[in-house]
Structure 1
Amino acid sequence: MRYLLAFALSLAMAVPAFAAFEGPGATQPSSQMGMGGGFQGPGANAQCSTAADAMKAWDDTYCTVEGHIVEKIVGAKDKYIFEDSTGKIQVDIDRKKFADRTVTPQNTVRLHGEVDVEHFGRRELDVDVLEIIR
């Protein structure tokens, strides 16, 4: 009986800790499920949507580019040249990302991935998702 009383008392004391006021003047958390936070200011919402942007982006910047895969780099596994209206960039696309689909230089593709700054400042886009647009 003593344990039941201790448990009930603990529960009664803990419930107010989880309560929150929701009404006029209440401060709301910046996000749900703790997914908020981070820096807000210059450069925080930088967009990387072209090959030219990717060539100037920092390491691990997420980019989504649309254009054409124009060439396979001979002798380099999974390395290709991607081109859009702003320029060219080397991309690294694992074979499994093609998912048994054939892509030609005439196909328009959308690539999602991170910029990888390698030795001596050489940049490439490490592709996570390959979409064939047409």
Structure 2
Amino acid sequence: MTRYLLIPLFAVASTLHASDALAGYTGPGGTAVATTVAQARQQRDDHVVLLLGHLVAKVGDERYRFRDATGEIEVEIDDEDMPHPAVGAAATVELLGKVDTHRFKPTDIDVKRVQVLPPR
């Protein structure tokens, strides 16, 4: 009987996305999602961002330069979160993550999900 209870539970759990885990509270007083590099640079630490653009260069271990129409920002993407096969600079990607502010270095984005979008 336990087996029959686990099947619906697994089905519900598998429909959850990374964005749901980052969403948190969305009612009055909740924070909106920044959608451009320029907007992300103006946000406080841990603000959720959803960026659309290109990974234009690898700048270090798990660190990349991301560009959209409003500018560039450094992003940190864990190796296990990078899509396979590898992503080129021409590919359009959607990044879901959080703003990571620092006292003595520039703001960057801690990416939790990378999605490669199909060519238009």
- Alpha-carbon contact 2:64-2:74 (below 8 Å) kept: yes
Tell me, yes or no, if structure 1 residue 118 matches structure 2 residue 102: yes
Tell me, yes or no, if structure 1 residue 55 matches structure 2 residue 41: yes
Tell me, yes or no, if structure 1 residue 93 matches structure 2 residue 81: no
Tell me the equivalent position of 1:40: 28
1:105 to 89, 92, 97: 89
Output the CA distance in 1 between the equivalents of 2:102 and 2:85: 29
* Runs of 4 or more above 4 Å deviation: 36-39
Flag the 1:38–1:64 CA change in 2: closer, same or farther, 3 A.
closer
Tell me the equivalent position of 2:63: 79
Output the CA distance in 1 between the equivalents of 2:77 and 2:97: 10
Structure 2 unpaired stretches of 5+: 1-23
- What secondary structure sits across from 2:114 in the alignment? strand
- Alpha-carbon contact 2:56-2:65 (below 8 Å) kept: yes
Number of corresponding residues: 95
- Give the TM-score, by structure 1 length: 0.64
- Give the TM-score, by structure 2 length: 0.71
Tell me, yes or no, if structure 1 residue 66 matches structure 2 residue 52: yes
Alignment of 1:13-32 (within 5 A): none
Q: Which has the higher strand share?
A: 2
Give the RMSD, CA atoms, in angstroms.
Answer: 2.1
Percent identical: 33
